[in-house]
Copies of this chain bind each other. A is one copy, B any other.
Amino acid sequence: MLKLGIIGTGTIAHQFIQAAQLAGGYELSAVYSRKKETASQFAQPYGDVALYTDLEAFVNSTLDVIYLASPNSLHYQHALTILQAGKHLIVEKPAFSNPREFSHVVEVAKANNVLILEAARNYHEANLGLIADFLADKVIYGASFNFAQYSSRMKNLLDGIYDNAFQSKMSGGALVDLGIYEVYAAYKLFGQPSSVRYTADLLPTGVDVSGSGQLVYKDFHVSMIVRKNAQSALPSEIYTDQGTLVLNHIQGLQEAKFHGLDGDVKTLPLKAIRHLMLEEAQAFAAILTNPKEYKEIYNHLLTTAQQVNETLTLMRQDANIRFEADL
């Protein structure tokens, strides 16, 4: 069993714990928060869990892996502390603010002989793999990926109050929060783009509340839309020489219909989703339990995570989105 520690006491951390429990192989051992009360409240549903308010004591306790879901901009320092204590790291997406941070963290992980896994859940969805298989015998003409989600922080935003998710000092914005799923899906299906573009609606804080852009490949491009200021009925689509594949989404994929050029519509058989984060939790448990056996897969995941980070950074640069962490 992997002794699991948690940094970050938001909804996403509860979801990861649920997924870890469903996956098996993990044992929730400790929770860190700056305030004892927050840690205690968070851990309440999980029974016997050690609570820490001292970060050094937490990372040096008997843990195998720490799931890190602090605000984006804090990942870097937290990650260094975790890795230097010789613990494996599962870091919620977006893992780090830019390639410089990411490279340094990778160096420190290697020096301490521990692993870094970015919790980019859709990259691990079996259904996304089925889509990749379905596309294998087709010529790709392009794709349109759409992710719009009206933020719970919009009410504050409209009152001129910009929460963490919309702060450049917190490495926030729509692209790194929602667009990252689209970029990961594109990497899974099409590999690394040769160039990228991004046009953003910037807030006074300097980050994007919405935007759209392109991932350019040799013979086609993927157009991306991301919005935290609207709901949308747009599905995502992949265009091929044989027809158009319509996906309900590029994460939480549960419906895929192929509209053939001949007019036939074929529903692809996809797996039911038990929990959105289950497949990543399973993959991480397998890798962390047998790092030697899964070495190639781990290396692929780490390389992809760093490339995705680079892609997002280039897109940010194209749209003049600068994080304090970039300085």
Contacts and interface: CB of A to CB of B under 8 A. Distances in A.
A142 interface: yes
Interface string A225-264: 1010111111101010101101000000000000101000
B210 A142 contact: yes
A5 to B, nearest CB: 39
Contacts of A234: 144, 234-235, 237
Q: What is the copy number of this chain in the assembly?
A: 2
Contacts of A141: 201, 210, 227, 229-230
A158 interface: yes
A261 B199 contact: no
Contacts of A148: 239
B199 A241 contact: no
Interface stretch (A72-80, A212-220, A293-301): A212-220
A221 B233 contact: no
A134 interface: no
Contact of A239 (B144, B230, B235): B230
Given A150-B261, A225-B144, A231 B219 contact: no
Interface in A196-214: 197, 199, 201, 210-212, 214
A223 interface: yes
Given A142-B210, A144-B225, A233 B244 contact: yes
B244 A259 contact: no
B231 A244 contact: yes
Nearest to A195: B199
Contacts of A259: 231, 233
A216 B235 CA distance: 23
A227 B143 CA distance: 11
Interface of A: 141-142, 144, 146, 148, 150, 158, 197, 199, 201, 210-212, 214, 216, 219-221, 223, 225, 227, 229-235, 237, 239, 241, 243-244, 246, 259, 261
15 contacts: A142-B201, A144-B146, A148-B239, A150-B261, A158-B241, A199-B216, A211-B221, A212-B214, A212-B221, A212-B223, A229-B239, A231-B243, A233-B259, A234-B235, A234-B237
